[in-house]
């Protein structure tokens, strides 16, 4: 380890170390999922979830119709619809997972900002 890591560890108080250990543990998935529906962007997350469910329903319908189609032209059309809807589902899920990770990352950045401000204040008091 380098000197800066040792200095940071020395600056941490016992309570701060316990808090750091507590925040290091990840929240369960259902709690992170519920957190995405709180705050300023809850309407956007709800809309994305609704569109995902609609796309899943339409993809299932397109897959069903693909196997019920008699001619090649209809099969190609339903397969294309299924693939496009699957792509939409994948993109919405990726966006939703990124949104779920935004909250813990933001919280960690805020915690680091507070810790840096506290260390800066301590250094100013020593001088």
For the stretch 90-113, pLDDT in tens is 999 999 888 888 877 888 888 888
Are the beta carbons of 85 and 55 closer than 8 angstroms? yes
0.75 exceeded by the pTM? Answer: no
Q: So what's the pLDDT on residue 6? A: 65
Pairwise CA distance, residues 93 & 89, whole Å:
6
Are the beta carbons of 62 and 82 closer than 8 angstroms? yes
CA angle 88, 93, 98 (to 5 degrees): 130
Q: So what's the pLDDT on residue 79? A: 97
Q: Name the residue among 19, 94, 16 with its Cα closest to residue 52.
A: 94
Split at pLDDT 50, 70, 90, the class of 57 is very high
- Residue 75's Cβ-count burial label (10 Å; 0-12, 13-18, 19+) is middle
**Token pair listed for 66:** 């693909």
């Amino acid at each position: 380890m380098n000197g800066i890591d040792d200095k940071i560890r020395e600056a941490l108080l016992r309570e701060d170390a316990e808090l750091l250990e507590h925040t290091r543990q990840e929240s369960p998935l259902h709690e992170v999922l519920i957190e995405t529906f709180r705050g300023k962007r809850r309407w956007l997350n709800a809309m994305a979830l609704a569109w995902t469910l609609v796309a899943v329903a339409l993809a299932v319908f397109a897959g069903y119709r693909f196997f019920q189609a008699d001619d090649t032209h209809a099969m190609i059309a339903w397969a294309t619809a299924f693939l496009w809807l699957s792509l939409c589902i994948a993109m919405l899920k990726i966006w939703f997972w990124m949104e779920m990770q935004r909250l813990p990352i933001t919280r960690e950045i805020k915690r680091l900002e507070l810790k840096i401000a506290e260390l800066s204040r301590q250094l100013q008091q020593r001088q």
